[in-house]
């Protein structure tokens, strides 16, 4: 699992989007937009990670990096983070 989309897909296998929306007090349209964009906000990624028993801090970092433009600095950070997750 390397992207927040992967994290979201895993969460949706556990329970439907409607239940996640109720749990986090967010609208279904916000959740749908997030799914369509293909990445989660750091806050949503962290909370889903907690509920899935994952490291929230790492998922929040992955989320933040996903919003950045791809460049050498971003690539270096992502590679380091993924290496540490293994």
What is residue 1's predicted lDDT score, i.e. its pLDDT?
55
DSSP assignment string, 14-62: HS-HHHHHHHHT--HHHHHHHHHHT---HHHHHHHHHHTTS-HHHHHHH
For residues 69 and 57, the model is more confident at 57
Token reading at 56: 């929230």
pLDDT tens figures, 3-28: 999 999 999 999 999 999 999 999 99
Check whether 86 has a pLDDT greater than 70. Answer: no
Domain count, the chain: 1
From residue 33, give the alpha-carbon distance in Å to each of 14, 39, 78, 79, 84.
20, 9, 24, 27, 30
pLDDT tens figures, 32-66: 888 888 889 999 999 999 999 999 999 999 999 88
What is residue 30's predicted lDDT score, i.e. its pLDDT?
87
> What number is the average pLDDT over the span 60-83?
84
Range of the domain at 72: 4-85
């Amino acid at each position: 699992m390397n992207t927040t989309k992967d994290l979201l897909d895993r969460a949706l296998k556990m329970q439907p989007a409607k239940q996640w929306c109720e749990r986090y007090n967010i609208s279904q349209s916000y959740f749908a937009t997030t799914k369509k964009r293909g990445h989660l906000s750091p806050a949503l990624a962290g909370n889903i990670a907690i509920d899935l028993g994952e490291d929230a801090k790492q998922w929040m970092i992955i989320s933040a990096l996903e919003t950045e433009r791809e460049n050498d600095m971003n690539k270096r950070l992502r590679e380091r983070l993924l290496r540490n997750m293994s």
